[in-house]
Structure 1
Amino acid sequence: MINRIISLCFLFITLFSCKQETKDKNEKLYVVTTTSMITDLVKNIGKDLIKVDGLMGSGVDPHLYKASEGDVSKLVNADVIIYNGLHLEGKLVEVFEKMKLQNRKAIAVGESLDKNTLIGSDYFASNYDPHIWFSVTNWKIVTQFVIDKLVEIDAKNASSYKNNGKIYLDKLSQLEKELQNTITTLPKEKRILVTAHDAFSYFGKAFDFNVVGLQGLSTATEAGVQDVQKLANFIIKNEVKAIFVETSVPKRTIKALQAAVKSKNHEVVIGGTLFSDALGNPDTNEGNYIGMFEYNVNTIVNALK
């Protein structure tokens, strides 16, 4: 693994050094993004003014993602690279750091947030929960940050970026209100969300949910037998009606949890599949950030009622 990272970093440095800056002034800005949430965000701001390539598609786990040779080519040729940061893209961190040393425009959206508003963790490398998109308030700050960066980098299209960004920010504000209205239909004592890993803490903080993940913040950590038994007891004690799988995490851990609850003569249903570290397929409503969030909240509320 270490050898692979070193090789990738060396390859990037070599290719960056050889790259010819021959971009025509009328050519579209080429932006490469990592997660599908960021890809969707950038497309909403840039529209047809930019070309966007997302490295990670539907169902992809960014914690475990490895750059392919095709990714190397995209990153080398990008005018701008926009990623989450906060160690979400764990296996690409060193690559991005090397790129910054080469004066490449690698932008981490997590840097836009006040660290006092981030959720800390003693179990994750960065000491901060990287799943910042599950707070719509956070995502609005990130949106404004990306708007400002694109305006700075591509000044000739500044007014369009600002106008597109304002439209999208208004949509996010409306989303926040609609989600709150849906969640208020669920009594507070039923707002217990049990998932495969700790991806929903910002959601819990924003909407007053008690969120419990079987694995840690990173899916690179495995849940042990004691973790499963402990959470099974918690489910029984709190009379949790439903637990949830995630599209980017194998179902086996939640299935094991359900079996553990059943072995104690209790029942808990799997309430549905949530989108956590990636959006849905591009041709579905869940393939965009707003549709994904609406789907998740409706699934959670309907299962826990």
Structure 2
Amino acid sequence: MKKILFIGLCIVLIGCKNPSSTSEKLNVVTTTTMITDLVKNIGGDAIEINGLMGAGVDPHLFKASEGDVSKLYHADVIFYNGLHLEGKLVEVFEKMESQQKKTIALGEQLDKDGLIGSDYFASNYDPHVWFNIQYFKEFANTVTQVLSEEDPKNSELFVANNNLFQKKLTDLETEVKAIIETLPQEKRILVTAHDAFNYFGKEYGFNVVGLQGLSTATEAGVQDVQKLSDFIIENKVKAIFIESSVPRRTIEALQQAVLSKNHEVIIGGSLFSDALGDANTVEGTYIGMFLYNVTTIVNALK
């Protein structure tokens, strides 16, 4: 029944004309907060942007409302992560593409040889690619190219904004590496609510273990909790981490399992994994989020 209603909504929208607007700016719709922040940095005031997801929203579980579908239909360009991150929006994106809508899955523009594979995830690749800053730089280049093609008169602005953003990302890499170098290699074990940090771990030498799998749509069972609690005790892990977009009860249950076996482990803080922090905060930007996460992880594990 829900699928029938969705298809009916799309038919209605397809039959509608784009609402009249006095703005000549490119109308861009984005999905995750990370991509929204990226596109804002490149597009600046030359575009109108609508981000579908807000702080704390889990993209794995996000479902489009009628309003969201309307925004997507009336967009000039749509940017999303892809690699099955926005798993419940696949049907919507396919519908947009069938209507010749400019729809760009940024993660799927990356060289697949460098991606982390998975035998258990629908896309066969870990979609959390933004935790490799180099991949985020490639996202920025793709966004710049697409915006310049769609709005040539502002292409110089987009290129200039990208050059500035690339410099900021390079500076971020330098700062992140300096912070992580203060943490001994043997202490670089990152236990979180779900497997969102594998690219981070690969880049900076962390052993990353998630209680849930790559997607929060999978539930952690009692055996998962017990197995991971044994791992924490065996490796003398000092701290474990909750995530802002995942219910904290999963990590709290893990902590209790460890404590019940007479091993002390603290919750080292809340990390931003699949969403940025609140708007108008430092953590509400990609760069601020990344630095916050790294500082929180290193301080807790020291």
Give the CA deviation at 1:66: 1.1
Give the direction of change, closer, same or farther, for the CA distance of 1:42–1:5 in structure 2 (3 Å limit): farther
Aligned to 2:170: 173
Mapped to 2, the partners of 1:85 and 1:259 lie a distance apart of 35
Could you tell which deviates more after superposition, 45-54 or 65-74?
65-74
Give the CA deviation at 1:236: 0.3
Structure 1 residue 251 and structure 2 residue 248: aligned? yes
Instruction: Check the 8 A contact 1:5/1:94 in 2, yes or no.
Output: no
Aligned to 2:12: 14
Instruction: Check the 8 A contact 1:5/1:95 in 2, yes or no.
Output: no
Q: TM-score, normalised by structure 2?
A: 0.97
Mapped to 2, the partners of 1:13 and 1:101 lie a distance apart of 12
Mapped to 1, the partners of 2:85 and 2:236 lie a distance apart of 33
Instruction: Check the 8 A contact 2:118/2:124 in 1, yes or no.
Output: yes
Instruction: Check the 8 A contact 2:9/2:66 in 1, yes or no.
Output: no
Give the CA deviation at 1:10: 3.7
Aligned to 2:33: 36
Q: Secondary structure at the match of 1:8?
A: helix
Mapped to 1, the partners of 2:69 and 2:140 lie a distance apart of 26
Give the CA deviation at 1:20: 4.4
Instruction: Check the 8 A contact 1:274/1:296 in 2, yes or no.
Output: yes
CA RMSD after TM alignment: 1.3
Give the CA deviation at 1:6: 4.5
Mapped to 2, the partners of 1:284 and 1:252 lie a distance apart of 25
Structure 1 residue 301 and structure 2 residue 298: aligned? yes
Mapped to 1, the partners of 2:193 and 2:44 lie a distance apart of 34
Equivalent position to 1:287, from 284, 289, 299: 284
Task: Give unpaired runs (5+ residues) of structure 2.
Answer: none
Task: Give unpaired runs (5+ residues) of structure 1.
Answer: none
Equivalent position to 2:88, from 91, 95, 103: 91
Mapped to 1, the partners of 2:39 and 2:69 lie a distance apart of 20
Structure 1 residue 74 and structure 2 residue 44: aligned? no
Residue type at the aligned position of 1:32: V
Q: Secondary structure at the match of 2:104?
A: strand
Q: TM-score, normalised by structure 1?
A: 0.96
Aligned to 1:236: 233
Mapped to 1, the partners of 2:261 and 2:244 lie a distance apart of 27
Mapped to 1, the partners of 2:4 and 2:171 lie a distance apart of 45
Give the CA deviation at 1:21: 8.4
Mapped to 1, the partners of 2:87 and 2:3 lie a distance apart of 11
Instruction: Check the 8 A contact 1:64/1:91 in 2, yes or no.
Output: yes
Mapped to 2, the partners of 1:137 and 1:6 lie a distance apart of 41
Residue type at the aligned position of 1:18: C
Could you tell which deviates more after superposition, 221-230 or 9-18?
9-18
Instruction: Kindly report which structure 2 residues correspond to 1:94-173, keeping only aligned pairs within 5 A, or say none.
Output: 94-173=91-170
Residue type at the aligned position of 1:168: F
Q: Secondary structure at the match of 2:45?
A: helix
Mapped to 1, the partners of 2:280 and 2:18 lie a distance apart of 36
Instruction: Check the 8 A contact 2:73/2:96 in 1, yes or no.
Output: no
Instruction: Check the 8 A contact 1:82/1:109 in 2, yes or no.
Output: yes
Give the CA deviation at 1:219: 0.3
Count the aligned residue pairs: 302
Percent same amino acid among aligned pairs?
67
Instruction: Check the 8 A contact 1:83/1:109 in 2, yes or no.
Output: yes
Deviations 1:94-114 (A, max 9, x none): 110111011011111012200
Instruction: Check the 8 A contact 1:12/1:99 in 2, yes or no.
Output: no
Give the CA deviation at 1:14: 3.4
Residue type at the aligned position of 2:145: D
Instruction: Check the 8 A contact 2:239/2:301 in 1, yes or no.
Output: yes
Q: Secondary structure at the match of 1:97?
A: helix
Aligned to 1:226: 223
